[in-house]
Amino acid sequence: MEAKSIEDVRELATEDIMSPWKLAWRRLKKNKLAMLGLYILAIMVLLSVVGPLVSPYTMEQMDLSNIQSPPSLAHPMGTDEVGRDVMTRLFYAGRISLSVGLFAVVISVVIGSVLGGIAGYYGGFIDSLIMRIVDIFMSFPFLPLLITIAAVMSDWKVPPQYRMFVVMILIGILSWPGLARIVRGQILSLREQEFMQAAEALGIRDRRKIFRHLLPNTYASIIVSATLDLGSAILTESSLSFLGLGVTPPTPSWGQMVQVARDLYTLQMQPWLWIPPGICIFLTVMAINLFGDGLRDALDPRLKR
Amino acid sequence: MADDLLAIHDLRTYFYTEDGLVKAVDGVSFKIKKGEVLGVVGESGCGKSITAMSILKLIDPPGKIISGDVIFEGINLIELKEDDIRKIRGASISVIFQEPMTSLNPVFTIGDQIGEAIMLHQDLDKVNARKKAIEMLKTVGIPRADEVVDEYPHELSGGMRQRAMIAMAISCNPKLLIADEPTTALDVTIQAQILELMRNLKNDLGSSVMLITHDLGVVAEMADYVIVMYAGKIVEEAEVVELFKNAKHPYTIGLLQSKPVIMRDEDRLNSIPGQVPNPLHMPSGCYFHPRCSHAMDICRESQPELKEVCEGHKAACWLYEGVI
């Protein structure tokens, strides 16, 4: 009997051993708002991925007998000016908006953490050089640049499906400096820690020290910052597309679908065309921000209990 | 000479700080024989750790090794390129650090960290490195080694972490183990265990140990030969028994007296008056004279050299000038 209880205790003890990520996940689960954000985000992703597959219509299929029709059973969110199903396009637009945001963030995280890591680790001249590049990028006139590039793209007759990639890369390239600063700041203090001296005394190479020993220590901040950046990348894509500078028809994106509201008649008489994509943008970005804030709380080592 | 593993000659490591030049290590020479435990004793800031780090060229700016030779197995480490000395770090010479709490990277499991050095210096793949890591953990006396290997540093106690650090340091069978205050951060019972462990490992592996500490008890227990440092210089060196029995330099005598002895009936513990001199404004003459009860005029004027005061016992003090 006694032996059994010792066995139980041991089992409990092994169950208690958790990686830092599991601990963070457990804390995150307690945060209701963050979980709400996560659920909304999951639903959005699910709809965007699965929606187009189950929809009876395709993105470009025109129902000429039902042009600009209000919501009905056949078209739950109505049709647009050439008779395309708004709901189907909304799903497709979600794919585009979410993936533009995601890829932009991936690009920004890769550039930002690599350059931030290098700047923070080496310090001195290399640090100054990279940080001045960051300053330059941060003072770039973002909108004029994008307008110019959009104009050039139209001039070169870049096909619409490729424009999407240009937008991704541009947002990514223009948004890495913030992350680079965060990573650099953390690495600056991390590299003075004793475990880095220990790593050096083991004869580990610089590259390995930066990317294997230092960067993983900043993953928490990188993830939080990337999550919040995802929201702003989606917003940026929406604004650009709304202004006609980003994703162009016939490829839909949420921002580009809202564009129809520029026409006063549509704004007043056909709300089914612009309200759903507007709500999608709002909900997604809101969900990402809630989730990101929750993540920050969950990953903050100072809140460890 | 053949049994010298490491010979340091006139090592000088200076720090060019914003406030001025700090001579952290100022003309230090010593030798470590094969299989010997060398104790380096001194107060905080006397240059013990900097000396050790200079051996592996682990000095970061504003510090700089100005001059000196570090001959390890016939190779002068000071002249080696960064790429070449990296192959020595962690392989032939490895370091155990003072703070087991912060010397392990918090985001890696113990096994990953031990395995890293093994993979790097012994050309083993991941699976075999892991096996070796478990084996090393068993060697240093960690129970449930096959579970601990997947745990994170924060899940281990201080003593366990120091054991893991030692496992990491000895995983490549180093010829020289530099232990930088390995037991300072641990409580006394654990200290004794760790010292015991280090002594056993030293005997099994046949490596030499450079033991840096300010704890004379640790020195008495572990070391064969002792160096006493003060303000970047060696002030006295001798075999351990000789030094404890027959200390010459007033600083060493002061250190020995400031250690409690159970059988001696004393109301208060002796202490050395004054503080370690500001490294930016070293006193003239002997660096120790402002705190020395035997200070003479000559002590204020010029610096004594390290000379043999009796057989196998060197001290840098004017008191013994002309004894031999």
Q: What is the ipTM of this complex?
A: 0.73
B17 interfaces chain A, CB cutoff of 8 Å = no
Chain B interface disruption, residue of A23, A195, A299, most B CBs within 10 A = A195
Evaluate if residue B265 carries a pLDDT over 70: no
Q: CA-to-CA distance for B108 and B104, rounded, in angstroms?
A: 8
| Distance to chain B for A195, nearest Cα, Å | 4
Residue in this structure with the two tokens 């050439």, named with its chain if needed: A82
- The confidence score (pLDDT) of residue B2 equals 53
- Most confident range, picked from A129-138, A219-228, B271-280: A129-138
Chain B interface disruption, residue of A10, A202, A209, most B CBs within 10 A = A202
* Whether B97 and A204 lie within 8 Å, measured CB to CB: no
CA distances from A5 to A2, A14, B50, B291 (A): 5, 14, 52, 62
Q: Convert the pLDDT of each residue in A248-288 to its tens digit.
A: 777 788 888 888 777 787 777 787 878 888 888 898 889 98
Residue A110 pLDDT grade (very low, low, confident, very high; cuts 50, 70, 90): very high
Evaluate if residue B3 carries a pLDDT over 80: no
- Domain-wise residue ranges, chain A: 28-51+84-299
* Whether A202 and B117 lie within 8 Å, measured CB to CB: yes
Q: State the number of CA atoms in the 13 A half-sphere of B120 facing the CB.
A: 26
For residue B121, give the chain A residue with the closest CA. Answer: A203
Dihedral of alpha carbons B145, B151, B153, B154, sign: negative
Alpha helices for chain B (secondary structure H) = 48-55, 82-88, 110-122, 126-139, 145-148, 158-170, 188-205, 216-222, 240-245, 250-257, 297-301
Evaluate if residue B109 carries a pLDDT over 60: yes
Average pLDDT over residues A76-95: 80
Beta-ladder partners of B178? B95, B210
* Whether A195 and B120 lie within 8 Å, measured CB to CB: no
Residue A211: which of A183, A172, A231 has the closest Cα? A183
* Whether B94 and A199 lie within 8 Å, measured CB to CB: no
Average pLDDT, chain B: 82
- The confidence score (pLDDT) of residue A184 equals 92
Residues of A in contact with B95 (CB under 8 A): 198, 201
Counting residues of chain A whose pLDDT is more than 70, the rounded percentage is: 91
Q: Convert the pLDDT of each residue in A31-48 to its tens digit.
A: 888 899 999 989 988 888
Residues of B in contact with A304 (CB under 8 A): none
B297, B313 in Cβ contact below 8 A? Answer: no
Phi-psi region of B144 (alpha: psi -120 to 50; beta: other; left: phi over 0): left
| Distance to chain A for B307, nearest Cα, Å | 34
Residue A28 pLDDT grade (very low, low, confident, very high; cuts 50, 70, 90): confident
Q: Convert the pLDDT of each residue in B117-169 to its tens digit.
A: 888 888 888 888 888 888 888 888 888 888 888 888 888 888 888 888 888 88
Residues of B in contact with A194 (CB under 8 A): 97-99, 102-103
Long-range contacts of A11-20 (CB under 8 A, 24+ apart): A14/B147, A17/B147, A17/B151, A17/B155, A19/B152, A20/B106, A20/B107, A20/B152
Q: How many beta carbons lie within 10 A of that of residue A83, not counting itself? A: 17
User: Which has more confidence, A7 or B30?
Assistant: B30
What does the DSSP 8-state code read for residue B47?
Answer: S
B86 interfaces chain A, CB cutoff of 8 Å = yes
Convert B126-151 into a string of H (helix), E (strand) and C (coil): HHHHHHHHHHHHHHCCCCCHHHHCCC
CA distances from B161 to A49, B81, B152, B158 (A): 47, 32, 10, 5
Residues of A in contact with B86 (CB under 8 A): 203-205
- The confidence score (pLDDT) of residue A217 equals 84
- The confidence score (pLDDT) of residue B279 equals 76
B56 interfaces chain A, CB cutoff of 8 Å = yes
Size of interface A-B (CB pairs under 8 A): 71
Evaluate if residue A59 carries a pLDDT over 90: no
B11 interfaces chain A, CB cutoff of 8 Å = no
Q: CA-to-CA distance for A232 and A289, rounded, in angstroms?
A: 9
Evaluate if residue B294 carries a pLDDT over 90: no
Phi, psi of B264 (to 5 degrees): -90, 135
Chain A interface disruption, residue of B84, B87, B103, most A CBs within 10 A = B103
Residue A49: which of A94, A104, A102 has the closest Cα? A94
Evaluate if residue B259 carries a pLDDT over 80: no
For residue B119, give the chain A residue with the closest CA. Answer: A204
Average pLDDT, chain A: 81
End-to-end CA distance of chain A: 34
- The confidence score (pLDDT) of residue A15 equals 46
Q: CA-to-CA distance for B288 and B323, rounded, in angstroms?
A: 20
Evaluate if residue B226 carries a pLDDT over 70: yes
- The confidence score (pLDDT) of residue B324 equals 47
Q: Convert the pLDDT of each residue in B135-149 to its tens digit.
A: 888 888 888 888 888
Q: CA-to-CA distance for B54 and B56, rounded, in angstroms?
A: 5
Q: Convert the pLDDT of each residue in A142-189 to its tens digit.
A: 778 878 887 888 788 777 777 788 888 888 888 889 899 999 999 988
Both structure tokens of A88: 């189907």
Both structure tokens of B139: 């060697």
Q: CA-to-CA distance for A62 and A57, rounded, in angstroms?
A: 9
Class for domain A28-51+84-299, per CATH? mainly alpha
Residues of B in contact with A197 (CB under 8 A): 58, 97, 103
Residues of B in contact with A204 (CB under 8 A): 86, 90, 116-117, 120
Residues of B in contact with A203 (CB under 8 A): 85-91, 117, 120-121
A123 interfaces chain B, CB cutoff of 8 Å = no
Q: Convert the pLDDT of each residue in A116-153 to its tens digit.
A: 999 999 888 999 999 999 999 888 887 788 788 878 88
B12 interfaces chain A, CB cutoff of 8 Å = no
The mean-pLDDT minimum among A30-34, A68-72, A86-90 falls in A68-72
- The confidence score (pLDDT) of residue A113 equals 92
B59 interfaces chain A, CB cutoff of 8 Å = no
Minimal Cβ distance to B120: which of A195, A197, A203: A203
B168 interfaces chain A, CB cutoff of 8 Å = yes
Evaluate if residue A2 carries a pLDDT over 50: no
Evaluate if residue A14 carries a pLDDT over 50: no
A200 interfaces chain B, CB cutoff of 8 Å = yes
Chain B stretch 105-144, residues whose beta carbon is closer than 8 A to a beta carbon of chain A = 105-108, 116-117, 120-121
Residue A305 pLDDT grade (very low, low, confident, very high; cuts 50, 70, 90): very low
- Sequence letter at residue B323: V
Residues of A in contact with B106 (CB under 8 A): 20, 195, 217
Average pLDDT over residues A12-29: 67
Q: Convert the pLDDT of each residue in B22-56 to its tens digit.
A: 888 888 888 888 888 888 888 877 888 888 888 88
Q: CA-to-CA distance for A120 and A301, rounded, in angstroms?
A: 21
